Amino acid sequence: MKPEHIGKYPVLRQIGSGATSKVYLARDPFANRDVAIKVFLFDKHADAQEERMVHKAFVAEASLAGKLNHPHIVDIFDAVVEPDHSYLVMEYVPGTTLEAYSVPERLLPVSKVVEIVFKCIRALEYACRHGI
């Protein structure tokens, strides 16, 4: 079940999920734009010290990532740590995942794969040079 709001952001729908997070499409009422909000699912059985350490690491990583400015890395607009959950508010990039192209009948042309990998490598190299 999707929340109605995450912080000040009205949630439109869930757009992804994984083992450690859920991602929602939401609306930034101040900037009047769609945003992606990644809500982290922390271990509910962690002790207080471990929880503080994880939250501190989350904030440090979000702070570093939020300073990156690269055409192949989504912008991070906000990072919020609250007692019951933490989340990142990021640039929303419409589109689909590459999952549909992972079956033999629908593989992308090699030239497209090379283009995607090249863009990923450039983004990773940039992030690495900036301490991420």
Distance CA 78, CA 17 (A): 19
Q: Which regions of 21-66 does DSSP assign to beta strands (E)? A: 21-28, 33-40
pTM for the model: 0.82
The per-residue pLDDT for range 12-64, each reduced to its tens digit, is: 999 998 888 899 999 999 999 999 999 987 766 677 777 777 777 777 777 87
Strand partners, 34: 27
Report the pLDDT value the prediction gives residue 22, as an integer from 0 to 100. 92
Please give the class, per CATH, of domain 5-95: alpha beta
Report the pLDDT value the prediction gives residue 18, as an integer from 0 to 100. 85
Distance CA 118, CA 111 (A): 10
Count CB atoms within 10 A of the CB of residue 74.
Answer: 15
Task: Break the chain into its structural domains and give their ranges.
Answer: 5-95, 96-132
